[in-house]
Amino acid sequence: MIASFLRMPFNIKLQNISRAIPIATLQLIQKIFAPIVILVRNYLGKTKFNKLRGQAIALHSKVITNVCNRIGIERTTRQNFIRTARDNGKKLGLLA
């Protein structure tokens, strides 16, 4: 019994889920932080949430800039760090 449970796949397959749930929602749920982000957005409201998220993104970009300036990293590399942070946020579901 336990051995068969351990062999079960834990990832969600879109083909196995009912079509009652939109595909875009299912794709968001598969990302780690997307359900939390969606709950917070529904709780705060879209405008307040977008304002808060914009402030968080600006603060994170500012931290990256300050670290790069302190270490002496050039502007193009700093921009690549900020782009990487954005892409990682998308992959994790923080921009859901």
11's tokens: 């990832």
Q: What pLDDT, in 10s, does the model give residues 21-80?
A: 666 665 655 677 788 888 899 999 999 999 999 999 999 999 999 999 999 999 999 999
Cβ atoms of 95 and 89 within 8 Å: the answer is yes
CA distance 84 to 92: 12
CA distance 62 to 15: 42
User: Which ranges in 1-96 belong to alpha helices (H)?
Assistant: 2-6, 23-29, 34-44, 46-71, 75-92
